[in-house]
């Protein structure tokens, strides 16, 4: 089994490019170790959930590239901000989901918030250390809200229109119809 330690890799990269370490990152990085098999499968050993999620985000970005970070931008409803107006189509619905995640974030248990915040910190760290993989000036500074918003489901505008059309046709009283419109 090939062994790579996230802490060692991050520190080597930081020292090589002389990037200052944010205060929280070394604490999280020092609490986790990533072991990869000879086939590259990551195994995360962490002291806590926040550190495990930090490593999970970092490993996902290593394995899947920028699309992991772009999914967080999409969940925030800011695709047009970073990629131009051609990317605006899903921003409205995503912004609604993001706002709902922000409203309900404090209601989540601490373990869940730790996972979301750790994942955001790991994604931020990867973006900081690999700017060449992202568009120029890409620095979204993800938060736990961004990660939480990926777990909020909102109906698409087409689903809302379809439901409203059925309701306006007088199908309001059927249980079957109601459950399809509300899911």
Taking only the tens place, the pLDDT of each residue in 51-69 is 999 999 999 999 999 999 9
Mean pLDDT confidence for 21-50: 85
Four-CA torsion 31, 37, 40, 42, nearest 10 degrees = -30
Q: Please provide the CATH number assigned to the domain covering 6-152.
A: 1.10.439.10
Location of structure tokens 């306006």 = 168
Whole-number Å distance between alpha carbons of 106 and 39: 40
pTM (2 d.p.): 0.74
Task: Map tokens 């990629």 to a residue.
Answer: 83
Question: Does residue 14 have a pLDDT over 50?
Answer: no
The candidate with the shortest Cα–Cα distance to 57, out of 133, 155, 123, is 123
């Amino acid at each position: 089994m090939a062994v790579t330690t996230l802490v060692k890799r991050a520190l080597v990269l930081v020292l090589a490019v002389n990037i200052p370490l944010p205060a929280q990152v070394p604490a999280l990085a020092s609490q986790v170790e990533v072991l990869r098999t000879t086939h590259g499968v990551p195994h995360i050993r962490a002291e806590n959930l926040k550190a495990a999620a930090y490593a999970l985000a970092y490993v996902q970005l290593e394995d899947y590239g920028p699309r992991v970070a772009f999914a967080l931008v999409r969940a925030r409803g800011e695709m047009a901000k970073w990629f131009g107006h051609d990317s605006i189509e899903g921003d409205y619905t995503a912004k609604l989901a993001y706002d709902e995640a922000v409203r309900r974030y404090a209601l989540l248990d601490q373990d869940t918030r730790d996972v979301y915040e750790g994942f955001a910190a790991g994604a931020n760290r990867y973006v900081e250390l690999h700017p060449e993989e992202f568009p120029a000036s890409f620095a979204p500074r993800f938060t736990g809200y961004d990660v939480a918003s990926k777990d909020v489901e909102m109906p698409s505008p087409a689903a809302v229109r379809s439901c409203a059309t059925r309701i306006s046709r007088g199908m309001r009283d059927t249980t079957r119809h109601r459950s399809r419109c509300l899911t």
